[in-house]
Amino acid sequence: MGKYFGTDGFRGEANEGLTAEHAYRIGRFLGWYYGEKKRAAGSHEKARVVIGKDTRRSSYMFEYSLVGGLVASGADAYIMHVTTTPSVAYIARVDEFDCGIMITASHNPYYDNGIKLINSHGEKMDEETIAQVEAYLDGTQEAPYAHRNGIGCTVDYVAGRNRYIGYLISLGVYSFRGKKVALDCANGASWSIARAVFDALGAKTLVINAEPNGLNINENAGSTHIEGLQKFVVENGCDVGFAYDGDADRCLAVDEKGNVVTGDHILYIYGKFMKERGKLLTNTVVTTVMSNFGLYKAFDELGIGYAKTKVGDKYVYEYMTEHNCRLGGESSGHIIFTKYASTGDGILTSLKLMEVLCAKEKPMSELYEGFTMYPQVLKNVRVKDKAAAQADPEVRAVVDRVANELGSAGRILVRESGTEPVVRVMAEAKDDALCLRCVDEVIEVIRARGHAAE
């Protein structure tokens, strides 16, 4: 991770950790950088950059700042307006843009925002380019202004969003006619896209949290507050419900009984489905270290192999492309289908679950039979220094002691957030009480050693 960019972009409270000046300078550098690459290749074309944003009030400010920087450096800025992160990734790839930019803080509250950079292949930006962006932000690298006809222009590109909607509809293998589906759009970027897709495929679509006002994104809504969707699905007799986060790159589901279907459940359901049809290349599903023990036990029963990466869909995708894997993701709902997308895509994930639902002709609750979640407790501790808290000898000692106590019947995991000043402490064991005790023992030492910022 760099000074400004974490595992999922440059994120911070709007006009505190992340300012309009930052956005302008990022635009200035990228406009010059990609223009320079074209000139070096002998091309006289301007650099082309596509931009999307979520529904936060501050997203407009950052959009205009980025556009100002891009055109001042000679790039043409194509604006998709309010749209999802995976749609920007898709359009950057299929329409051969030099790069894509998504303005979002994902599942964070409205007052935070972020800038995600996407390369021309629709993938997370490489570390080398991000390092150069950061050097420009710190004033150690120059980017000259464009002049006269070299100045870039701005292009309204809502057509790109519509093209993405068409692509999702084209992936529908079955008609959803007769299926009653609930969608929780988190008052975020999916609000104008998800329903259009499900309606086009024939579902009876019911939607909640699809009235964004700039201040209500993720507020008691979406994949991080799924209890509202659970109640809605049961009360309205829905076959299934899908909950997205603010930029719709993740998806969780709710079965017909109101039970939460996590990212691990989704990996199990679709991994099993692919194996049954001989489509699971390398017979491997890629997970992160945060996936549940129960998932691995279930995969063992099915004869499905698995890999574990660091937390972050970026690392999952890197492993998948390197080892030719087709399915991977995180328990939080970032699911990647490399045959169809280069990043986690919440709406695509919900379509693939509907594919299994329709093919099996079974209720959602029966699709994950054979997978039993181990009890898990996860707590976050806001700290002064993430690295120092984890490296403290006494913290490491208590983690080792708890790990030895759990043995092969559970685990303890301590890791830092890639986007917040937080250390996450997670335990899995035979019961909730033991998980809670293990987590609290570690957190107590973190606090006693003076690392907590609370």
Which residues are catalytic, by number? 106
Sheet holding 305-309, edge to edge: 305-309, 284-288, 327-329, 335-337
Residues in the chain: 454
Read off the tokens for 39: 């000139």
Q: Whose CA is closest to 268, among 239, 306, 235, 237?
A: 306
Partnered with residue 252 across adjacent β-strands are 243
Rounded CA Rg of the chain: 22
Strands 99-103 and 112-118, bridge-based pairing:
antiparallel
